[in-house]
């Protein structure tokens, strides 16, 4: 840790408002954490601090055409609130409404403080509390809490990643990043180029192609894709004969087991899976399409996340002629479009840079423990939900190979177990004591995606063994977080240090 010259706390201001728990973020993770806190720790006071002015997090921020879930809603949805929508792969607005409904039904919405962006968090061991510095408009306010739950995700909300393209200043068309899609953008009858081959590009392209003159998806290299039905046929059948909650629980369990088994088999022997996914594309596009160039990745399945193509919508658009895929690199932009390294060029009136995210842990907030700054690159995740040597803080991080909410639900439940354990024993501090011998070089997400590689130097490290290794395995996490002991010998608990806190 690096000593701080300003602890950000003792500024001579009046006494600040105190809560048992402060939750940062009102998206899927934050609303879910609040529900579990109300359910399992009903005596705890809490507030949710949301940097933006609306509930929903990612699903409120992203408004580009066609935005949808990249995993099924029976696992992306909360385990305590059945997803009743018809589609298993849902659109962004439906997901946002689902989160809003969850908050409203449970009274969670009354605890949210909008336009509260946490910029700094200071832990005092003497007082056993966090002091959060919050940017509200043009001023800073402070709140204190005995425990903090970070539900702010892992990427920047105010910026997306766009490479520096040569000549882009000469281009006279429109350039936009999907993260900041303008509602007024009219692409009807226009030539559009979407740069990228990830989930955002494959979601956006067929939607824009429905009214654009033509859409070209320009990619440096292919990505694995998997077709799946937008409506789960098993769910449809079970809903007709079973109560809604039971049907939801059974489909959720089916999808969890299926995804775990498939992931295990694929990682153990990726060759057949590689061929199978490429074969699915060939079956969809026909023998004359150049699948080898445009849909045959240079890596194994699940080295990066697989993109879902519901009801083959991207392939249908390609076959209809409204979408083209070009695999090439950009030489430079010019006045009317993009010149490619191969010598070809693409004319475009609109260019969409679906080139990725910028990772930003903790919503950009700085952490200090007893006046020393926490350097994220020097710590590790404990059980994928706490940071080594950082007291009384949980960080909701989801899976790379399954729905985010599966892990955030487990982490929130385990946080409640920790809080109740401390209350029963009159303890006020818990910290995962970092074991430096466990540090390895791998990133905690276990993937080779661009945004993770770019952030590797500043992100927490992967541990060699449990509980410092992030497994991305629901069964192992269920056993550890739901069934395992709270006091596992790695967590260090302590009581109050001063009489004021002890009282």
Tens-place pLDDT, residues 369-393: 999 999 988 888 999 999 999 999 9
pLDDT at 399: 85
Question: Which residues are paired to 3 by β-bridges?
Answer: 372
pLDDT at 362: 86
pLDDT at 5: 40
- Cβ(399)–Cβ(153) below 8 Å: no
pLDDT at 6: 47
**Mean pLDDT, consecutive 10-residue segments, the chain of 503 residues?**
45 74 97 98 97 94 91 94 93 95 97 97 96 95 97 83 91 95 94 94 96 97 92 94 95 94 89 93 94 94 87 95 97 96 96 89 92 90 94 92 91 98 97 84 60 67 86 90 94 76 43
pLDDT at 71: 87
Of 329, 310, 383, 359, nearest to 161 (Cα)? 359
pLDDT at 442: 63
Residue the block writes with tokens 């399945």: 301
Of 162, 144, 158, 156, nearest to 500 (Cα)? 144
pLDDT at 451: 56
Q: Give dist(CA 50, CA 48) in Å, integer.
A: 6
Q: Could you tell me the CA-to-CA distances from 147 to 111, 159, 207, 415, 422 in Å, in that order? A: 16, 29, 43, 10, 11
* Torsional class of 171: left (φ above 0), alpha (ψ -120 to 50), beta (otherwise): beta
Sign of CA dihedral 324, 325, 327, 333: positive
- R_g (Cα) of the chain, nearest Å: 24
Q: Is beta strand 386-387 parallel, antiparallel or unpaired with respect to 381-382?
A: antiparallel
Of 11, 55, 8, 5, nearest to 30 (Cα)? 55
pLDDT per residue over 137-157, tens digit each?
999 999 999 999 999 988 788
For the chain, the straight-line distance linking the first and the last C-alpha, in angstroms and rounded, comes to 31
pLDDT at 312: 93
Query: What global pTM score does this model have?
Result: 0.91
Q: Give dist(CA 357, CA 158) in Å, integer.
A: 10
Give the list of residues 6+ apart from residue 350 with CB closer than 8 angstroms, or none. 173, 174, 175, 176, 185, 187, 190, 191, 192, 193
Can you read off the two tokens belonging to residue 332? 């430079």
Q: Give dist(CA 61, CA 158) in Å, integer.
A: 10
């Amino acid at each position: 840790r690096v000593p701080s010259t300003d602890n950000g706390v003792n500024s001579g201001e009046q006494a600040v408002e105190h809560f048992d728990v402060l939750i940062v973020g009102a998206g899927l993770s934050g609303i879910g954490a609040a529900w579990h806190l109300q359910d399992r720790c009903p005596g705890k006071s809490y507030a949710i601090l949301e940097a933006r002015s609306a509930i929903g997090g990612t699903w409120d921020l992203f408004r580009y055409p066609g935005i949808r879930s990249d995993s099924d809603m029976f696992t992306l949805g909360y385990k305590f609130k059945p997803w009743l929508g018809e589609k298993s792969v849902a659109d962004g607005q439906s997901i946002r409404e689902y989160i809003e409904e969850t908050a409203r039904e449970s009274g969670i919405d009354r605890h949210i403080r909008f336009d509260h962006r946490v910029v700094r968090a200071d832990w005092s061991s003497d007082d056993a509390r966090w002091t959060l510095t919050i940017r509200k408009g043009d001023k800073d306010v402070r709140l204190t809490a005995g425990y903090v739950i970070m539900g702010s995700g892992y990427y920047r909300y105010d910026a997306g990643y766009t490479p520096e393209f040569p000549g882009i200043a000469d281009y006279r068309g429109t350039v936009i990043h999907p993260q900041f899609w303008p509602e007024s953008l009219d692409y009807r009858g226009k030539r559009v180029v979407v740069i990228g081959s990830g989930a955002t590009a494959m979601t956006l392209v067929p939607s824009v192609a429905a009214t654009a003159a033509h859409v070209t998806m320009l990619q440096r290299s292919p990505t694995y894709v998997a077709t799946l039905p937008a409506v789960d046929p098993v769910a449809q059948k079970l809903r007709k004969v079973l109560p809604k909650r039971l049907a939801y629980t059974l489909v959720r369990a089916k999808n969890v087991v299926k995804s775990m088994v498939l992931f295990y088999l694929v990682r153990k022997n990726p060759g057949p899976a590689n061929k199978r996914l490429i074969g699915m594309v060939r079956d969809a596009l026909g023998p004359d399409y150049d699948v080898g160039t445009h849909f045959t990745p240079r890596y194994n399945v699940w080295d990066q996340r697989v993109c879902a193509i519901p009801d083959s919508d991207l392939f249908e658009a390609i076959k209809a002629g409204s979408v083209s895929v070009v695999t090439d690199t950009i030489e430079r932009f010019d006045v009317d479009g993009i010149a490619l390294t191969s010598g070809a060029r693409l004319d475009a009136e609109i260019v969409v840079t679906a080139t990725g995210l910028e990772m930003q842990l903790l919503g950009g907030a700085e952490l200090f423990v007893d006046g020393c700054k926490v350097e994220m690159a020097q710590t590790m995740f404990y059980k994928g939900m706490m940071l080594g040597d950082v007291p009384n803080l949980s960080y909701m991080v989801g899976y790379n190979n399954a729905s985010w909410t599966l892990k955030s639900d487990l982490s929130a439940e385990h946080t409640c177990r920790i809080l109740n354990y401390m209350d029963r024993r009159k303890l006020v501090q818990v910290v995962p004591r970092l074991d430096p011998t466990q540090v390895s070089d791998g990133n905690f997400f276990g993937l080779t995606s661009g945004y993770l590689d770019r952030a590797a130097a500043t992100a927490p490290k992967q541990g060699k063994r449990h509980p410092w290794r992030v497994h991305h395995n629901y069964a192992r996490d269920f056993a550890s977080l739901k069934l395992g002991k709270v006091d596992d010998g790695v967590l260090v608990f302590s009581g109050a240090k001063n009489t004021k806190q002890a009282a």
